[in-house]
Amino acid sequence: LQRGKYQPRRDLDADALKELTSSILKQGVMQPIVVRKTNTDRYEIIAGERRWRASQQAGLDSIPAIIRDISDEAAIAMALIENIQREDLNAIEESLALLRLQDEFQLTQQQVADAVGKSRSSVTNLMRLATLEPAVQKQIELGEIELGHAKCLLALNGSTQVKAGREVAANAMTVRQTELLIKRLQTPDSNKASGVKNTVNADILRTQEDLSQKVGAAVTIQHSTKGSGKLIIKYHSVDELEGILAHIK
Protein backbone atom coordinates (compact mmCIF):
# COMPACT_ATOMS: atom_id res chain seq x y z
CA LEU A 1 0.00 0.00 0.00
CA GLN A 2 1.07 3.58 -0.58
CA ARG A 3 -0.26 7.00 0.32
CA GLY A 4 -2.69 8.46 -2.21
CA LYS A 5 -1.21 11.17 -4.42
CA TYR A 6 -4.50 13.06 -4.22
CA GLN A 7 -4.76 12.95 -0.42
CA PRO A 8 -5.96 16.46 0.50
CA ARG A 9 -4.84 16.32 4.14
CA ARG A 10 -1.42 17.87 4.71
CA ASP A 11 -1.11 16.80 8.35
CA LEU A 12 -2.57 14.05 10.51
CA ASP A 13 -3.57 15.04 14.04
CA ALA A 14 -1.42 12.96 16.40
CA ASP A 15 -4.02 12.78 19.18
CA ALA A 16 -6.82 11.78 16.80
CA LEU A 17 -4.58 9.13 15.27
CA LYS A 18 -3.75 7.78 18.73
CA GLU A 19 -7.46 7.51 19.57
CA LEU A 20 -8.17 5.69 16.31
CA THR A 21 -5.28 3.29 16.97
CA SER A 22 -6.75 2.50 20.39
CA SER A 23 -10.17 1.88 18.83
CA ILE A 24 -8.70 -0.44 16.20
CA LEU A 25 -6.83 -2.41 18.86
CA LYS A 26 -10.12 -2.98 20.69
CA GLN A 27 -12.58 -3.41 17.84
CA GLY A 28 -10.56 -3.86 14.66
CA VAL A 29 -11.03 -1.87 11.45
CA MET A 30 -14.78 -1.29 11.18
CA GLN A 31 -14.79 0.20 7.66
CA PRO A 32 -12.62 -0.96 4.72
CA ILE A 33 -10.30 1.51 3.04
CA VAL A 34 -10.67 2.21 -0.70
CA VAL A 35 -7.67 1.61 -2.98
CA ARG A 36 -6.80 1.37 -6.66
CA LYS A 37 -3.99 -0.47 -8.42
CA THR A 38 -1.05 1.58 -9.72
CA ASN A 39 1.17 0.96 -12.74
CA THR A 40 3.82 -0.54 -10.45
CA ASP A 41 1.62 -3.33 -9.09
CA ARG A 42 1.17 -1.49 -5.80
CA TYR A 43 -2.09 -0.21 -4.36
CA GLU A 44 -2.73 3.48 -3.80
CA ILE A 45 -5.05 4.60 -1.00
CA ILE A 46 -7.95 6.71 -2.22
CA ALA A 47 -9.92 6.89 1.03
CA GLY A 48 -8.93 5.76 4.50
CA GLU A 49 -5.33 6.88 5.06
CA ARG A 50 -5.94 7.50 8.78
CA ARG A 51 -7.28 3.97 9.20
CA TRP A 52 -4.21 2.61 7.37
CA ARG A 53 -1.75 4.56 9.51
CA ALA A 54 -3.60 3.71 12.72
CA SER A 55 -3.59 0.03 11.72
CA GLN A 56 0.19 0.24 11.25
CA GLN A 57 0.58 1.74 14.72
CA ALA A 58 -1.67 -0.98 16.10
CA GLY A 59 0.70 -3.57 14.63
CA LEU A 60 -1.74 -5.09 12.14
CA ASP A 61 -0.21 -6.79 9.09
CA SER A 62 -3.35 -6.48 6.95
CA ILE A 63 -6.39 -4.22 6.56
CA PRO A 64 -9.73 -4.77 4.80
CA ALA A 65 -9.87 -2.90 1.50
CA ILE A 66 -12.16 -2.33 -1.46
CA ILE A 67 -10.34 -2.21 -4.82
CA ARG A 68 -11.77 0.28 -7.29
CA ASP A 69 -10.82 0.86 -10.93
CA ILE A 70 -11.31 4.62 -11.22
CA SER A 71 -9.81 7.63 -13.00
CA ASP A 72 -7.61 10.31 -11.43
CA GLU A 73 -10.53 12.74 -11.48
CA ALA A 74 -12.76 10.30 -9.60
CA ALA A 75 -9.93 9.49 -7.17
CA ILE A 76 -9.37 13.09 -6.10
CA ALA A 77 -13.11 13.72 -5.86
CA MET A 78 -13.58 10.63 -3.69
CA ALA A 79 -10.67 11.58 -1.41
CA LEU A 80 -12.08 15.08 -1.05
CA ILE A 81 -15.63 13.95 -0.39
CA GLU A 82 -14.58 11.49 2.32
CA ASN A 83 -12.58 14.11 4.19
CA ILE A 84 -15.24 16.80 3.78
CA GLN A 85 -17.99 14.49 5.03
CA ARG A 86 -15.88 13.53 8.04
CA GLU A 87 -14.99 17.22 8.58
CA ASP A 88 -11.32 16.20 8.70
CA LEU A 89 -10.00 19.05 6.55
CA ASN A 90 -9.37 22.59 7.66
CA ALA A 91 -10.58 25.33 5.31
CA ILE A 92 -7.16 25.88 3.73
CA GLU A 93 -6.65 22.18 2.97
CA GLU A 94 -10.11 22.10 1.43
CA SER A 95 -9.39 25.26 -0.60
CA LEU A 96 -6.15 23.88 -2.03
CA ALA A 97 -7.72 20.50 -2.79
CA LEU A 98 -10.62 22.12 -4.68
CA LEU A 99 -8.19 24.25 -6.69
CA ARG A 100 -6.13 21.18 -7.52
CA LEU A 101 -9.23 19.36 -8.69
CA GLN A 102 -10.13 22.31 -10.90
CA ASP A 103 -6.63 22.84 -12.30
CA GLU A 104 -5.69 19.22 -12.98
CA PHE A 105 -8.88 18.40 -14.84
CA GLN A 106 -9.70 21.83 -16.31
CA LEU A 107 -13.09 22.01 -14.59
CA THR A 108 -15.33 25.01 -14.08
CA GLN A 109 -16.27 25.97 -10.53
CA GLN A 110 -19.75 24.57 -11.14
CA GLN A 111 -18.28 21.21 -12.20
CA VAL A 112 -16.10 21.18 -9.08
CA ALA A 113 -19.14 21.97 -6.94
CA ASP A 114 -21.11 19.13 -8.57
CA ALA A 115 -18.23 16.69 -8.06
CA VAL A 116 -17.95 17.30 -4.31
CA GLY A 117 -21.61 17.94 -3.58
CA LYS A 118 -21.33 21.60 -2.56
CA SER A 119 -22.98 24.77 -3.83
CA ARG A 120 -21.07 26.85 -6.35
CA SER A 121 -20.95 29.85 -4.00
CA SER A 122 -19.49 27.68 -1.22
CA VAL A 123 -16.79 26.34 -3.57
CA THR A 124 -16.01 29.86 -4.82
CA ASN A 125 -15.60 31.19 -1.28
CA LEU A 126 -13.36 28.28 -0.28
CA MET A 127 -11.15 28.64 -3.36
CA ARG A 128 -10.62 32.32 -2.64
CA LEU A 129 -8.98 31.46 0.69
CA ALA A 130 -5.90 30.36 -1.25
CA THR A 131 -5.33 34.04 -2.15
CA LEU A 132 -4.93 35.02 1.51
CA GLU A 133 -1.49 35.92 2.82
CA PRO A 134 0.45 32.84 4.05
CA ALA A 135 0.44 34.14 7.62
CA VAL A 136 -3.36 34.42 7.57
CA GLN A 137 -3.71 30.97 6.00
CA LYS A 138 -1.62 29.62 8.88
CA GLN A 139 -4.01 31.24 11.36
CA ILE A 140 -6.88 29.34 9.76
CA GLU A 141 -4.95 26.07 9.91
CA LEU A 142 -4.19 26.65 13.59
CA GLY A 143 -7.80 27.53 14.36
CA GLU A 144 -6.95 31.08 15.45
CA ILE A 145 -9.55 32.54 13.07
CA GLU A 146 -12.58 30.97 11.42
CA LEU A 147 -13.93 30.88 7.89
CA GLY A 148 -16.22 33.87 8.48
CA HIS A 149 -13.28 36.00 9.61
CA ALA A 150 -11.21 34.84 6.64
CA LYS A 151 -13.89 35.92 4.15
CA CYS A 152 -13.78 39.42 5.65
CA LEU A 153 -9.98 39.56 5.49
CA LEU A 154 -10.06 38.87 1.74
CA ALA A 155 -11.00 42.53 1.30
CA LEU A 156 -7.50 43.54 2.48
CA ASN A 157 -4.06 42.95 0.99
CA GLY A 158 -0.48 42.39 2.10
CA SER A 159 0.71 43.53 5.51
CA THR A 160 -2.64 45.20 6.27
CA GLN A 161 -4.37 41.83 5.94
CA VAL A 162 -1.77 40.16 8.17
CA LYS A 163 -2.07 42.86 10.87
CA ALA A 164 -5.85 42.64 10.77
CA GLY A 165 -5.72 38.86 11.13
CA ARG A 166 -3.54 39.19 14.22
CA GLU A 167 -5.88 41.78 15.72
CA VAL A 168 -8.91 39.57 15.10
CA ALA A 169 -7.24 36.60 16.82
CA ALA A 170 -5.77 38.63 19.70
CA ASN A 171 -9.14 40.19 20.55
CA ALA A 172 -11.27 37.11 19.80
CA MET A 173 -13.42 39.25 17.49
CA THR A 174 -16.77 38.16 16.15
CA VAL A 175 -17.36 38.22 12.39
CA ARG A 176 -19.38 41.44 12.72
CA GLN A 177 -16.55 43.09 14.69
CA THR A 178 -14.15 41.93 12.00
CA GLU A 179 -16.31 43.53 9.32
CA LEU A 180 -16.19 46.84 11.17
CA LEU A 181 -12.43 46.56 11.54
CA ILE A 182 -12.05 45.99 7.79
CA LYS A 183 -14.19 49.03 7.04
CA ARG A 184 -12.10 51.15 9.36
CA LEU A 185 -8.88 50.00 7.72
CA GLN A 186 -10.31 50.66 4.26
CA THR A 187 -11.24 54.25 5.13
CA PRO A 188 -8.43 56.66 4.17
CA ASP A 189 -7.19 59.00 6.91
CA SER A 190 -8.22 61.92 4.72
CA ASN A 191 -11.83 60.96 5.19
CA LYS A 192 -11.60 61.76 8.88
CA ALA A 193 -10.75 65.37 8.12
CA SER A 194 -13.61 65.68 5.65
CA GLY A 195 -16.13 64.43 8.18
CA VAL A 196 -16.75 61.00 6.63
CA LYS A 197 -17.64 58.51 9.33
CA ASN A 198 -15.17 55.72 10.02
CA THR A 199 -17.85 53.14 10.72
CA VAL A 200 -20.45 51.55 8.47
CA ASN A 201 -24.18 51.80 9.05
CA ALA A 202 -25.59 48.49 10.34
CA ASP A 203 -28.21 48.45 7.57
CA ILE A 204 -25.48 48.78 4.95
CA LEU A 205 -23.54 45.92 6.54
CA ARG A 206 -26.63 43.71 6.41
CA THR A 207 -27.20 44.67 2.77
CA GLN A 208 -23.57 43.82 1.95
CA GLU A 209 -23.95 40.42 3.61
CA ASP A 210 -27.21 39.70 1.76
CA LEU A 211 -25.72 40.68 -1.60
CA SER A 212 -22.55 38.68 -0.94
CA GLN A 213 -24.62 35.56 -0.28
CA LYS A 214 -26.72 36.10 -3.40
CA VAL A 215 -23.85 36.66 -5.85
CA GLY A 216 -21.31 34.38 -4.13
CA ALA A 217 -18.63 37.08 -3.91
CA ALA A 218 -17.40 39.86 -1.64
CA VAL A 219 -19.55 42.99 -1.92
CA THR A 220 -18.63 46.43 -0.58
CA ILE A 221 -20.99 49.42 -0.39
CA GLN A 222 -19.32 52.83 -0.10
CA HIS A 223 -22.04 55.21 1.03
CA SER A 224 -21.49 58.92 1.55
CA THR A 225 -23.41 61.27 3.83
CA LYS A 226 -24.82 62.96 0.71
CA GLY A 227 -26.65 59.78 -0.29
CA SER A 228 -24.46 58.83 -3.25
CA GLY A 229 -21.96 55.98 -3.30
CA LYS A 230 -20.51 52.93 -5.00
CA LEU A 231 -21.38 49.23 -5.10
CA ILE A 232 -18.21 47.15 -5.56
CA ILE A 233 -18.19 43.41 -6.32
CA LYS A 234 -14.78 41.74 -6.11
CA TYR A 235 -13.79 38.72 -8.19
CA HIS A 236 -10.50 36.89 -8.79
CA SER A 237 -11.00 35.13 -12.11
CA VAL A 238 -13.08 35.19 -15.28
CA ASP A 239 -14.76 31.99 -14.14
CA GLU A 240 -15.78 33.64 -10.88
CA LEU A 241 -17.06 36.70 -12.78
CA GLU A 242 -19.21 34.45 -14.97
CA GLY A 243 -20.65 32.88 -11.85
CA ILE A 244 -21.50 36.30 -10.42
CA LEU A 245 -23.18 37.37 -13.66
CA ALA A 246 -25.15 34.12 -13.70
CA HIS A 247 -26.46 34.90 -10.20
CA ILE A 248 -27.43 38.44 -11.21
CA LYS A 249 -29.25 37.29 -14.34
The CA–CA distances, whole Å, from 224 to 27, 112, 232 equal 65, 40, 14
The CA–CA distances, whole Å, from 118 to 24, 109, 122 equal 32, 10, 6
Cβ(159)–Cβ(142) under 8 Å?
A: no
Q: What is the reported pLDDT for 59?
A: 92
Question: Where does a domain end: 127, 145, 167?
Answer: 127
Residues 211 and 162 both lie in one domain: no
**How confident is the model over 25-49, as pLDDT tens digits?**
988 888 898 899 887 778 888 888 8
Mean local confidence (pLDDT), 120-138: 91
**Pairwise pLDDT comparison (107 vs 58), residue with the higher score:** 58
Residues 178 and 204 both lie in one domain: no
Residues 52 and 78 both lie in one domain: yes
In a domain, 83, yes or no: yes
Q: What is the reported pLDDT for 41?
A: 79
In a domain, 4, yes or no: no
What CATH number does residue 33 fall under?
A: 3.90.1530.30
Residue 75, pLDDT > 60, answer yes
Confidence band of 185 (pLDDT split at 50, 70, 90): confident
Residues 23 and 73 both lie in one domain: yes
Residue 195, pLDDT > 50, answer no
Strands 65-67 and 33-37: parallel
Q: Which residues are catalytic?
A: 49
Residues 200 and 176 both lie in one domain: no
In a domain, 5, yes or no: no
**Pairwise pLDDT comparison (209 vs 171), residue with the higher score:** 171
Residues 97 and 20 both lie in one domain: yes
Is the alpha carbon torsion for 48, 51, 56, 61 positive or negative? negative
Instruction: Give me Rg for the CA atoms of the chain.
Output: 22
Mean local confidence (pLDDT), 78-94: 74
Domain that holds residue 218: 195-249
Residues 35 and 101 both lie in one domain: yes
Domain count, the chain: 3
Q: Which of 57-61, 195-199, 208-212 has the highest mean pLDDT?
A: 57-61
